[in-house]
Amino acid sequence: MSTAQNTQSWIESANGHPDFPLQNLPLGVFSPPGDSPRGGVAIGDYIFDLKTACETGLFHGAAHQAALVASGDSLNAFFALGGTARRTLRDALIHLLSEGCGEQKRMEHLGAALLKPQAACRMHLPAKIGDYTDFYVGIHHAQNVGKLFRPDNPLLPNYKYVPIGYHGRASTVVPSGTEVRRPNGQTLPAGAEAPVFGPCARMDLELELGIWIGQGNDQGKAIPINAASGHIAGFCLLNDWSARDIQAWEYQPLGPFLSKSFATTVSPWVVTAEALEPFRVAQPARPEGDPQPLPYLYDQGDQHRGALDIELEVLLHTARMRREHQPAERIALSNTLNMYWTVAQMVAHHSVNGCRLQPGDLFGSGTLSGETPDSFGSLLELTGGGKQALVLGNGEERRFLEDGDEIILRARCRREGHASIGFGECRGRILPAH
């Protein structure tokens, strides 16, 4: 199923909208002013209220059943329905929201009961997250960070055989706009023999793609690589906030712990796999001499269409910029094509040992830096581990993030002959440590 790219919506703000034209229709959970959370769909500057649409009989048959499940206060049950239900609901939404729809006058009459201004609503996490796993599939980030600590051997031998990941903390994943408290923890000052306790001094961001799991698997039963894409419900933006000084002291031998678990921010809209179909491309060829993935990680169809071409952007808005009414400044521009492993490979690897994945589980891709400094997705890379300051346009300098700094992630899909779609924003502002 594909949406006609020249189809217009009767909702005027959707036509040419930078993020939410008719061709996108991402799902989320929102609260209208003074009302309870429910499922909705972003269209232009509005949210199409699925609860109201169901109550007023706008959907029929299988589409009504899918919309009813998606209208609740979390999308877990909808994710569990799988791709057929997603596509059925998407087809019905495209019909209802297209210009000239037979129900247009009725929907226009419903007005604010059906269409809620996004600016007036509160967004929530789209699903109750049972588990969160953060991967490390951005190869340029892995190489850049590796060079800081192991100049002669930046990539460890397993990197090109295994999609590396660690289990994160689901309880501290928060939606865009939630303020982030600078964490306290143990750090080892340079030259010291014993650690000290106090606020993190090397606060960082990480530019990542978030992946929402749809249908899961039974414990003990792996998801094969050729079926893995069918278990992906959709995508979001993800900022894996990182306390680099805490991380440096704690990560050996078991990896990140308190340096990551204090907060992870996600954009609230789930851009479905179907909306991203026009932006699927071949997985970039591995460099000469790199090993072929093991058979359980290799599928020819996934190699031909398993990568996504999504432009990723990081902006920094400092407290001074806000005081002086200056806009946020872009500090990095990257792309999901910097993923060494596909999302399907991540799913297949995560489940190959029999691990049970469940609807609403969240994956992070790992930092998706590009090859050049203007595409580095963390300050750790942009400043060479804090050695060189990042100089902003207003003269401010940053080695790591300061209190009051706000990080904004954005994403955009573009392709000739297709409407461009976006993800909305992933925002978080840093508050001082307690």
Token pair 């993935």 is at which residue? 293
Q: Does 141 qualify as catalytic in the annotation?
A: yes
d(CA 275, CA 277): 6
Q: Is 387 known as a binding-site position?
A: no
Query: Of the listed 60, 95, 140, 141, which one is catalytic?
Result: 141
Q: Is 403 known as a binding-site position?
A: no
Q: Is 361 known as a binding-site position?
A: no
Q: Is 240 known as a binding-site position?
A: yes
Q: Is 260 known as a binding-site position?
A: yes
d(CA 276, CA 122): 25
Beta bridge partners of 362: 132, 212
3-state secondary structure the chain: CCCCCCCCECCHHHCCCCCCCCCCCCEEEEECCCCCCEEEEEECCEEEEHHHHHHCCCCCHHHHHHHHHHCCCCCHHHHHHCHHHHHHHHHHHHHHHECCCCCHHHHHHHHHHCEEEHHHCEEECCCCCCCEEEECCEHHHHHHHHHHHCCCCCCCCCCCCCCCEEECCHHHEEECCCCEECCEEEECCCCCCCCEEEECCCEECCEEEEEEECCCCCCCCCCCHHHHHHHEEEEEEEECCEEHHHHHHHCCCCCCCCCCCCCEEECCCEEECCCCHHHEECCCCCCCCCCCCCHHHCCHHHHHHCEECCEEEEEEECHHHHHCCCCCEEEEEEEHHHECCCHHHHHHHHHCCCCCCCCCCEEECCCCCCCCHHHCCCHHHHCCCCCCCEECCCCCEECCECCCCEEEEEEEEEECCEEEEECCCEEEEEECCC
Q: Is 283 known as a binding-site position?
A: no
Q: Is 150 known as a binding-site position?
A: yes
d(CA 303, CA 306): 6
Cβ pair 259, 251 in contact under 8 A: yes
Q: Is 251 known as a binding-site position?
A: yes
The values of phi and psi at residue 151, to 5°, are -55, -35
d(CA 385, CA 126): 34
Q: Is 309 known as a binding-site position?
A: no
Specify binding-site residues for Ca(2+). Answer: 134, 206, 208, 240
Specify binding-site residues for Mg(2+). Answer: 240, 260, 264
Residues recognised as catalytic: 141
Specify binding-site residues for substrate. Answer: 136, 150, 247, 251, 367
Specify binding-site residues. Answer: 134, 136, 150, 206, 208, 240, 247, 251, 260, 264, 367
